[in-house]
Amino acid sequence: METLVQQVVNAVSLGGVYAMLALGLAIVFSIVRLINFAHGEVMTFGGYGVFLALAFGAPPLAALATGVGAAVAMALALERAAFRAMRGADVVTLLITSFAVSEILKVLFQNGISARPVPISLPQSWSGTWRLGELTIGVAPTVSIFVTLAAFAGLTLILRRTTVGVAMRAAAEDLEMLQLLGVRANRVVATAFALSGLLAGVAAVIWTAQRGSVDPMMGFFPVLKAFIATVLGGLGSLGGAVLGGFAVGFLEVMAQAFLPPALAPYRDAVVLAAVIAALLARPDGLLPARRGERS
């Protein structure tokens, strides 16, 4: 029982990171129809922000804040330099653009910083544990879960209670109508990218704190999982992205923990088969977007 509860904590922790990344993808997609595969490199850049801040002697909390800020800055820079010029292009063109941006950034990280992973050494107490009855739970996963919940609560507030949030939700419904109403579309789209960068930055901070290193490929694999999560949740649906992220995280951890040894090498195949089965039952995703972007 203790093991099961511990694995649930693990699943929520991992699912939270996937959910944050999936939400970042979904926010941008819902407004400009861009599946941003360079989102992983935004996350990686956030990780390098943490590394460089620590290398220059910043205290750990300031380093983490620098990482989040770096990711936001990178997301805004990509929007301005690469994606604004492509706005209105079809989905495939945008997808290829995002792949190109992703590859360019990876090569820049490799040659400009290091092809090797670089270490992130945070205070020992951050890797400690605390006890809840018979359970021993890691500090890092616990913080990860609380930060994830706080990020979702903050995002919900922004989307529902602020003018720019309402404008973003309106843009997701009909960007042209929003422009006809006199709202500055560039600012709305840039805000969407900034929020997406913010989520990637928070994910980067949690990821680097838990994994202890940053490398040029760091963001690629979690964003791939996050993309699967957005499709599972319903492409373009913000709630679906969160649900999909937690579902993928839960499936991965439970498959790792409880698949019999003979099936263990097929873990990823089992997880993806479960995702396909869910999509066969609900082709538009678990919580489809109102506009009905089919997976």
CB of 51 to other proteins, least distance (A): 10
Residues that bind other proteins (CB under 8 A): 2-3, 6-7, 10, 13-14, 17, 106-107, 110, 115-119, 121-122, 124, 127-129, 136, 138-141, 210-213, 215, 217-218, 221-222, 225, 249, 252-254, 256-257, 261, 264-265, 267-268
CB of 237 to other proteins, least distance (A): 23
Cβ neighbors of 139 (< 8 A, separation 6 or more) are 125, 126, 127, 128, 129, 130
Q: Which of 167/203 has CB closer to other proteins?
A: 203
Q: Which of 136/162 has CB closer to other proteins?
A: 136
Quickly tell me which residue has 């082709």 as its tokens: 283
CB of 149 to other proteins, least distance (A): 18
CB of 144 to other proteins, least distance (A): 10
Q: Which of 132/153 has CB closer to other proteins?
A: 132
DSSP annotation of 82? I
CB of 4 to other proteins, least distance (A): 9
| Sign, Cα dihedral of 35, 41, 45, 50 | positive
CB of 27 to other proteins, least distance (A): 21
Contact 190, 30 (CB under 8 A): no
Quickly tell me which residue has 């500055």 as its tokens: 184
- Cα angle 8-250-61, degrees, rounded to a multiple of 5: 70
Q: What six digits make up the tokens of 235?
A: 């492409």
Q: Which of 98/210 has CB closer to other proteins?
A: 210
Q: Which of 141/244 has CB closer to other proteins?
A: 141
**Separation of CA 216 from chain center:** 16
Strand-strand pairing, 213-214 and 135-138 = unpaired
Instruction: Determine the Cα–Cα distance for residues 238 and 1; give it in Å rounded to an integer.
Output: 33
Q: Which of 119/292 has CB closer to other proteins?
A: 119
